[in-house]
Structure 1
Amino acid sequence: MSQRWHDLNTPPNLPELYWKAATRRKITGTELPAAGLRHPVSVQPAKLAAYRQVCGFTENGLLPPTYPHVLAFALQMQLLTAADFPFPLLGLIHLANRIRVLRPMGGVGDLSIGVRVDNLRPHAKGAVFDLLTNVDDALGPLWEAQSRMLCRGVKLPGEAPAEPAPNESGLSELTRWQAPADIGRRYARVSGDYNPIHLSAVTARLFGFPQAIAHGLWNKARTLAALGEQLPAANIEIAVDFRKPVRLPSEVCLLASPAGPSGDLRLTGAGGLEHMIGHWRPLA
C-alpha cells in the first residue's frame, strides 16, 4: 500500500505547537496515524553556520549529516502534536537514531521534507514506534532517518523483542570534549528543540532529572563532527543507541574504530559510563 501524505500549505508554527505539547499529558489510544506530513524547506546559510559552530562541524561545502533533523524538526512537532497522534509529546524518550546519507549533500538549497510514524510495538517499559523522516531534492531521495521513540505507560499485547548486543571491539580513544552547562540552550537556539529537560537544572527537575541533560542529537552531531574525515560523505548509514544521558556540565570521551567504510563508536563519561553506542556502514 502506498504512503498517504498531507501537504502543508503553511509552515508549522513552533510556538503554537509547544503550547499544544505543554497542555496535552494523556495517552488517548494505541493506533498511530496512517498519513504523513510533507512540506518544502530551504537551507538558510546563517542558520546552517550557527549549527556548525554549536556542533563543531567545519565548513566543507556539504550539509552536516545530522542537519536535516533540524530542517525537519517543526514538521515532526506538527505530526506529534496532531489530534490523531495518541501519545503526549512531552515525555517521549528518544532511544535510537539511524540516518542514511544517500548522495553527497553539497549545493543543497530547496528541499522537500516528509515525516511519518510507523511500527508501534511492545517495549519492556511501554511501547516504541519509529519516527521516519525523508528528504528529497530536485534529483530525488537525498537523506532519510529513523528515530526510535519510547512512550512509557502504553500497554500492548505481545513480548518485547530482545535488543541485540553491540559489537564494540577494537575501539580506541579518539578525542574528548566538554559538554558545557549551557549547551542545551545553545543547541535549542539552532535546532528549535526547547525541551525543558535540556535547558537548565530548574526546568529539568520538573521532569525528574537532577540536572539538565544534553540533547541526544547534539551528542550524535558532536560525535560525527569529531569523526570528520573518517566518514564517507555519502552512501553511508550511521546508527546510534542512546544509553545514559549526558548530564550538564560534564566531560565525555569518544572511542572509535580506525577510519574506513565501516566502524563502531562509543561515547562514555566519568567512570566509563556509557552514553551512546553506534556504528557506521556502507549502504547495501
Structure 2
Amino acid sequence: MTRPWLDLHSPDSRASLYLRALRKRTISGSTLPTQGLRCYLRVQPDNLAAYRRLCHFPDDGRLPATYPHVMAFNLQLQLLTRADFPFPLLGLVHLNNSIEVRRPLGGLEGLQVAVWAENLQPHAKGGTFDLVSEASDGLGLLWRETSRMLVRGLTLETSTPAASDTADRPAPTGLVQATRWYADRDIGRRYAKVAGDYNPIHLSALSARLFGFPSAIAHGMWSKAMALAALQGHLPKAGYRFEVEFHKPVRLPAEVVLSATEAGPAGELRLHGQEQRLHMSGRWAAL
C-alpha cells in the first residue's frame, strides 16, 4: 500500500491536542486511518539536556535512543486525536515498545519524523494497534519505533485474539543485577515536564484514582529510558533493536531493580519491584 501523507510545518500546540483528547471519550469506529503525518522537528538543546539528566544518559554527542520518541510525541498526539482516529487517547494502554537504531544518532540538528497507525488486531481485552514512528536525516532512515497499544472494550469482527508476544517465551537465565533506582512521588510530573506526556495516571494519586489506580504510576517510557541508559555499555552505538514489554505498573514511590544478561550482540533484561513484582521485561539484539 502506498501510504498517503499529510506534511506539516509543525505539530499543533500540546494544549490544543490535550483538549481534543479530553473531548473524545468513546470508541467511534474500528478502522484505522491510512494517512500518516510527517514533519521536520528540530532538536531542542535545553530539553535534550534536561532529558539526559532525568534519565541518566551521558552527554556523549549522540541522542539517547529513546529521545526521538520525545521529539515525535506531539506528532503522535496529533495523529491519535484527529477526527478520523476511532479510539479515545485517554484509556489506551501501552503494552510494548520496540526501538531500532539503524545508524548512529550523532551530530543531528533535527529529524524528519513520520508517524502512522497500522496492524489492528483482536485481543482478549479488546484490540491492539501499532503506533509507528520513523526518523530520518538526509541520508535516509536512522531510527524506528513501534508501540503496541491496547484499546479496551473494542470488538473486532475477525479471528480469535492473538496470543501474547511473550506467552511462549522461556524465562531468561544468567541475569545479574545491573543497577537499582528509586522512583519518587513526583517523577511522573518531572518526566511529563520534559517529555510532554501529561497522562493523568502519572501525575498524582488523585488524578490516577480517576482511572482506577490507587496511586500515580511511573511512565513506562521513563523506565525504558532508565534501563537503556544503565545498559549503554551492553549495546553498540547503532545497528540494534531494544524492545520491552510493560507488565505491572510501577506505583509511586517505589524502588526497582534492573537485571540483565552480559554485554553482547543479544541479551535480555528484567525490571522488578517489591516481592519480585515484574514491571518490565525486554531484550536487545543486533539488526
TM-score by length of 2: 0.97
> Which residue of 208, 219, 233 maps to 2:223?
219
Q: Is it true that 1:130 corresponds to 2:130 in the alignment? A: yes
1:151 counterpart residue number: 151
How many angstroms apart in 1 are the aligned matches of 2:20 and 2:163? Answer: 35
1:198 counterpart residue number: 202
User: Residue type of the partner of 1:151?
Assistant: V
1:114 counterpart residue number: 114
SS class of match (2:281):
strand
> 1:158-207: CA deviations, max 9, x gaps?
11122243341211111111011110000001100000000010110111
2:86 counterpart residue number: 86
Q: Is it true that 1:12 corresponds to 2:12 in the alignment? A: yes
> 1:260-281: CA deviations, max 9, x gaps?
1110000000010000000000
- The runs of 4+ residues in structure 1 deviating greater than 4 Å are none
- Cα contact 2:38–2:112 (8 A) shared by 1: yes
1:31 counterpart residue number: 31
> 1:195-242: CA deviations, max 9, x gaps?
000001011011110000000000000011111211111000011000
> Which residue of 225, 231, 234 maps to 1:230?
234
1:275 counterpart residue number: 279
What is the Cα deviation at residue 23 of structure 1? 1.4
User: Residue type of the partner of 2:169?
Assistant: P
SS class of match (1:173):
strand
How many angstroms apart in 2 are the aligned matches of 1:257 and 1:12? Answer: 42
Percent identity over the alignment?
55
Aligned-CA RMSD value = 0.9
SS class of match (2:231):
helix
2:163 counterpart residue number: 162
How many angstroms apart in 1 are the aligned matches of 2:151 and 2:206? Answer: 23
TM-score by length of 1: 0.98
User: Residue type of the partner of 2:34?
Assistant: A
SS class of match (1:78):
helix
What is the Cα deviation at residue 154 of structure 1? 0.4
What is the Cα deviation at residue 61 of structure 1? 1.0
User: Residue type of the partner of 1:208?
Assistant: G
1:68 counterpart residue number: 68
How many angstroms apart in 2 are the aligned matches of 1:253 and 1:9? Answer: 42
What is the Cα deviation at residue 7 of structure 1? 0.4
How many angstroms apart in 2 are the aligned matches of 1:10 and 1:102? Answer: 25
2:247 counterpart residue number: 243
Label 1:10 to 1:58 Cα distance change in 2 as closer, same or farther (>3 A).
closer
Q: Tell me the matched-pair count.
A: 283
Q: Is it true that 1:260 corresponds to 2:261 in the alignment? A: no
How many angstroms apart in 1 are the aligned matches of 2:271 and 2:94? Answer: 16
> 1:16-71: CA deviations, max 9, x gaps?
01011011101000000001000110101111000001111111111001000000
Label 1:161 to 1:11 Cα distance change in 2 as closer, same or farther (>3 A).
closer
1:208 counterpart residue number: 212
What is the Cα deviation at residue 139 of structure 1? 1.1
1:176 counterpart residue number: 180
- Cα contact 2:9–2:40 (8 A) shared by 1: no
User: Residue type of the partner of 2:283?
Assistant: H
Question: Structure 1: which 5+ runs fail to align?
Answer: none
User: Residue type of the partner of 1:138?
Assistant: G
